[in-house]
Structure 1
Amino acid sequence: MDYTYEGKVMWSHLDANMHMRHSAYADFAAQARIEVLDKLGLDLKVFHKLHIGPILFREETTYLREVGVNEKLTVTTTLLKSRPDGSRWSIQHEIIKENGVKAAVINVDGAWMDTQKRKLTALPEELAEQFNHIPKSADFEELVS
């Protein structure tokens, strides 16, 4: 299964300097996460039915290269850290330009929230198993509960 997301930089992604604005990098990473979860059977319909949703505690971007309009980008998704039940996790995205040059690295720390109780929760066991199919980084760390 392919765990990458591909997209094209649109006019609306640009800032006053005519390169991709900082928040557009986060938008590309968020879409990559949603696409990966969808491929694993953790789509928004399932989350809505179970009253569960992903939340972020931290998002950090390291910008490496400028990105301009109409450039095609590939966003990778790897799991850096996770509890065995998938209840807390860290994911890394790399945004890569069409020429193979890495444009940015985005690290996020997150968890799952019960959208009715507005409290942190764990995924049901079968969904946690699916979540753990996200490719793991070479230095993946299993978090202790």
Structure 2
Amino acid sequence: MWAHLDANMHMRHSAYADFAAQARIEVLDEMGLNMKTFQKLHIGPILFREETTYLREVGVNETITVTTELVKSKKDASRWTIRHELFKEDGVKAAIIVVEGAWIDVLKRKLATLPEELAEHFVHMRRSADFVEME
């Protein structure tokens, strides 16, 4: 989209993060971790770190595909790392985005945990080949 471009006429750096965030929201939604559930529980995802490695430029009107994999997680899903890979329509990897996060109680403004049933869904997200369970 035009709004995703920068002065060099390729996708701007922050658009990569926007696409990764949308992919995370879609994956969470599929697990029942949607906005309605978050509002009911007063919990939401929070990022501590986000790192992007840019590999290839994405031009105007190019279609991209975003993958989402769980790379690390505590058993209770209280802390986690997710990796996204963005691919151009020809299959060439354009970027890798790694985010480290947790859950926040939006009323107390403190870290929180998911209810056990939702945590169980979360830790069974598609795992990467190099998945590590955190202590």
Q: TM-score, normalised by structure 1?
A: 0.92
Instruction: State how far apart, in whole Å, the 1-side matches of 2:77 and 2:133 are.
Output: 10
Partner of 1:89: 80
Write out the 4+ residue segments of structure 1 that deviate beyond 3 Å after TM superposition: none
Whether the 8 Å contact between 1:52 and 1:114 is mirrored in structure 2 is yes
Count of matched residue pairs: 135
Q: Which residue of 39, 52, 57 corresponds with 2:48?
A: 57
Partner of 1:45: 36
Superposed CA RMSD in Å reads: 0.5
Q: Where does the alignment leave 5 or more consecutive residues of structure 1 unmatched? A: 1-9
Q: Which residue of 112, 116, 138 corresponds with 2:129?
A: 138
> What percent identity do the matched residue pairs reach?
74
Whether the 8 Å contact between 1:40 and 1:133 is mirrored in structure 2 is no
Partner of 1:105: 96
Instruction: State how far apart, in whole Å, the 1-side matches of 2:130 and 2:11 are.
Output: 30
Residue aligned with 1:103, SS: strand
Instruction: State how far apart, in whole Å, the 1-side matches of 2:56 and 2:34 are.
Output: 32
CA shift for structure 1 position 133: 2.1
Q: Which residue of 62, 65, 68 corresponds with 1:74?
A: 65
CA shift for structure 1 position 54: 0.2
Q: TM-score, normalised by structure 2?
A: 0.99
Amino acid in structure 2 at the alignment position of 1:44? M
Cα-to-partner distance string for 1:93-140 (whole Å, 9 max, x where unaligned): 000011000000000000000000000011000000111121111111
